[in-house]
């Protein structure tokens, strides 16, 4: 077993309506120091695999195909845990 995190973020330059709204609300809630907020996805994936290199390849393929939309999003894959069982 192996656990990976995938971070999907909006590309630079793509407007983030949700991030903007959150920033506005934070300002209203008196968090005056907030400069910018961007909201992306945090995807946790558990795989039946112990081969890290192969897993990374697979996870990148998943992200390219489905998890991220390359027109607007970037992603980053990270293996966080490998369980020998």
Partner 1 sequence: MKELTYKEMGLLEEEYEQILGILGRKPNYLELGMFSVMWSEHCGYKNSRPLLKNFPTEGPQVIQGPGENAGVVDIGDGQALVFKIESHNHPSAIEPYQGAATGIGGIVRDIFTMGARPIACLNSLRFGSLEDERVKELLAGVVSGIADYGNCLGIPTVGGEVYFNRAYQGNPLVNAMCVGLVNTQEIAYATASEIGRPLMLVGAKTGRDGIHGATFASEGLSSASAQKRPSVQVGDPFMEKLLIEACLELIKEDLVAGMQDLGAAGLTSSIAEAASKKERGVKVDVSRVPRREAGMTPYEVMLSESQERMLIIPRAGKEGRIAEIFDKWGLDATLIGEVTGDGLFKVYDGDVLVGEVPVAALTEGCPVYVREGLEPSYYEECRNSNLEELLEYDTGEAIKLLLASPNIASKHWVYSQYDHQVMINTVLVPGEADAAVLRIKGSQKGVALTTDCNARMVYLDPYQGGMMAVCEAARNLACVGARPLALTNCLNFGSPENPHIYWQMQEAIRGMAEAARKLGTPVVSGNVSLYNETAAGAIFPTPVVGMVGLIKNIEHRCGMALQDEGDLLVLLGPIREELGGSEYLQVCYGLETGRVPQVDLQAESRLIELLISLIDARLLKSCHDISEGGLAIALAESAIKGKKGFRIKWEWRGKRKDQILFSEAPGRVVVSLNEEDLASLSSLATQYEVEFHILGRVGSERMILEEEGIECVNLAIQDMTRIWGEAIECHMK
Partner 2 sequence: MRFGVVVFPGSNCDRDCYHVIKEVMEEPVEYIWHKEKSLSGFDALILPGGFSYGDYLRTGAIARFSPIMPAVMDFAQAGGLVLGICNGFQILLEAGLLPGAMLRNSSLKFICQPVFLKIQRNDTPFSNKFKSMQVVKIPIAHGEGNYYCDPRTLQEMKDNGQILFTYCSADGEETMEYNPNGSLANIAGIMNGKGNVLGMMPHPERYSEDILGGRDGFNIFASMINWLKGVG
Judge whether 4 and 59 are in contact, CB under 8 Å.
yes
Burial of 79: CB neighbours in 10 Å, binned 0-12, 13-18, 19+:
middle
Chain positions 9 to 48 lying near partner 1, rule: CB under 8 A, are 11, 13-17, 20-21, 24
- Residue of the chain from 32, 71, 83, 84 that contacts partner 1 (CB under 8 A): 71
> Considering only residues 44-83, where is the footprint of partner 2 by CB under 8 A?
65-67, 69, 71-72
Q: Which is nearer to partner 1, 20 or 58 (CB)?
A: 20
């Amino acid at each position: 077993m192996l656990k990976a995190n995938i971070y999907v973020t909006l590309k630079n330059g793509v407007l983030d309506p949700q991030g903007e709204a959150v920033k506005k609300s934070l300002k209203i809630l008196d968090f005056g120091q907030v400069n910018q907020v961007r909201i992306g996805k945090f995807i946790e994936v558990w795989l039946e695999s112990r081969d890290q290199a192969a897993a990374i390849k697979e996870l990148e393929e998943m992200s390219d195909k489905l998890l991220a939309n390359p027109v607007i999003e970037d992603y980053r894959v990270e293996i966080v845990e490998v369980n020998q069982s």
